[in-house]
Chains A and B, each alone.
Chain A
Amino acid sequence: MADDTNAAWGAKDKEWMPVTKLGRLVKDMKIKSLEEIYLFSLPIKESEIIDFCLGASLKNEVFKIMPVQKQTCTSQCTRFKAFVAIRDYNGHIGLGVKCSKEVATAICRAIILAKLSIVPVCRGYWGNKIGKPHIVPCKVTGHCNSVLVHLILMPRGTGIVSAPVPKKPLMMAGIDDCYTSARGCTATLGNFAKASFDAISKIYRYLTPDHWKETRTQAPAVATT
């Protein structure tokens, strides 16, 4: 298999000592799920928070490793850029990009960055609400530098119709049917992958009619102190 479970890695680590207040609250189980953190848009600064909440269900996958070069006065300095995507099968996805002199270090750091950038994914229906949600609930557009990626909803059974690069994050997010349209310099893999990831993360920012109903929740500051 191309991916490897996060749990095996986490088990070897020592006990986590939180550095931020959010970390301490998560460790003391005062905040029980990631959704509570997302609800109040609290920035997650420690990757161990994600490990703690999602833990064993996280899976990493190396998207691509490419060497990049920088011209120095004597020669060229080659570094490796690693793209790592991380997902759990329950609607969370993250993408991390890191450059480093050694491949393993780049992968390691990219995993941490991927965890810090985990976002929830909302799925919906095209037509009748039968079966599980399978598509993006609305048309979304993501962009990164010059690359623009549109995601368009399609009926069940279409499959993901796209270039190989955005296909991966879409599959990982659990989106089964989608048309994509891309524009810009899609040859730059980094920008293309980030643009599709950006499109996926914009889904929850869209206020759909089912979110119109007013809900009252306690802010975590009140609930935990």
Chain B
Amino acid sequence: MAAVLKPVLLGLRDAPVHGSPSGPGAWNASKLGGIPDALPTVAAPRPVCQRCGQPLALVVQVYCPLEGSAFHRLLHVFACACPGCSTGGSRSWKVFRSQCLQVPEREAQDAQTQENSLAAEDWCEGADDWGSDTEEAPSPQLTLDFGNDASSAKDVDWTARLQDLRLQDAVLGAAHPTALSPGLPLFLPYYICVADEDEYMDFVNLDHAHSLLRDYQQREGIAMDQLLSQSLSNDGDEKYEKTVIKSGNQTFYKFMKRIAGCQEQILRYSWSGEPLFLTCPTSEVTELPACSQCGGRRIFEFQLMPALVSMLKSANLGLSVEFGTILVYTCEKSYPMEEFCIIQEDPDELLFK
């Protein structure tokens, strides 16, 4: 543990997505399930499974512009939800990245009053201060929060548009999925909110352990300092022993320990950081394929956690995706294209085949 760990951001499930938001409010948001939103200049990806040819369902959409970059960056993770392919391995999963140049907001709000356009400029300048050095987008809830002065002009714009949608929600909501394509598998959409891993790191409930310790001391009649002095008289019969886990392996135990602070995390984001392996990593990880467009190195960007499996529900039962953890590696130089992902299977998978 000599290297300094890069900060890790956790994605947690938030409120469900209502209706079908469109416009920057939609592709600015990170969400799980639902229909993939496209950036203004890029077509929404509609991939098919390599194994069975069925259209893939959107698992997660992550809005993650890079620090110091002028591009909006959107990553889509698709998976095949057919029963036969749900444990199909990397051929049933696809990751796409799309990006477009950020257009300064003042041009988009020409129709607004002078006051509003000033506020819009402030929003642009304040963009870099939004949060810490993170590449993850702020929660979409913030854009709808009237208390947030920096983006108040933007709020008015987006809520107005959403209000328009609401009027036709009853019709659009039902028609929307079918309007795009009849057979597209869909998971129920939820927004993803972001938290820092450090907030959850020290959450270990030691009350029970303390009460057990008190009972032990009462029973044996010794106090803590006596325990320590015992060590001096002890001639080393008992030695420090490494824990040997009877079932499962050491890597899995470490994985469980690390996520114990925040069990409901569904995404771990750490640009160019270290992934948290579920099972012992195979040679796949050391021999990552280089980017096919520029030949550059691929680096770890984020991973999907097993808690996501129980959160991916669909309106019509029968759609399910099973995995242990999905590690997504993207091109360092960030060209828009298909990215590479490694799937680590659930350790129990072999038992239930």
Contact = CB atoms under 8 A, between A and B. Distances in A.
B216 A62 contact: yes
B247 A45 contact: yes
A12 interface: yes
B245 A22 contact: no
A8 B212 CA distance: 12
Interface in B244-302: 245-248, 252, 255-256, 259, 263-264
Contact of B204 (A27, A105, A116): A105
Contact of B210 (A24, A27, A104): A104
Contact of B215 (A3, A69, A103, A117): A3
Given A17-B263, A66-B234, A67-B230, A190 B212 contact: no
A156 B241 CA distance: 38
B247 A60 contact: no
Interface of A: prevailing SS: mixed
Interface stretch (B170-178, B182-190, B303-311): B303-311
A207 interface: no
Interface string A1-22: 1111000110011111111111
B243 interface: yes
B220 to A, nearest CB: 8
A81 interface: yes
A20 B227 contact: no
Given A66-B234, A66-B238, A2 B310 contact: no
Given A16-B263, A81-B240, A107-B212, A225 B306 contact: no
Contact of A42 (B206, B243, B351): B351
Interface stretch (B44-52, B105-113, B342-350): B342-350
B200 to A, nearest CB: 11
B43 interface: no
Contacts of A60: 208, 212
B224 interface: yes
Contacts of A13: 205
B247 A107 contact: no
Contact of A70 (B216, B224, B240, B256): B240
Contact of A1 (B215, B237, B241, B243): B215
Interface in B332-353: 346-349, 351-353
Nearest to B206: A104
B181 interface: no
B239 A2 contact: no
B100 interface: no
B352 A225 contact: yes
Contacts of B238: 66, 68, 81, 188-190
Given A4-B212, A21-B349, A21-B352, 16 more contacts: A4-B208, A15-B263, A18-B306, A18-B310, A19-B256, A20-B306, A20-B346, A24-B309, A43-B246, A43-B248, A43-B348, A69-B234, A79-B240, A108-B204, A108-B209, A225-B352
3 A-B pairs with least C-beta separation: A43-B247, A67-B231, A9-B208
29 contacts: A2-B215, A9-B207, A17-B306, A19-B259, A24-B309, A42-B351, A43-B247, A45-B248, A45-B256, A45-B347, A45-B348, A60-B212, A65-B216, A66-B230, A67-B228, A67-B231, A68-B239, A69-B234, A69-B240, A81-B238, A97-B243, A104-B210, A107-B212, A108-B205, A111-B209, A190-B241, A221-B351, A221-B353, A224-B352
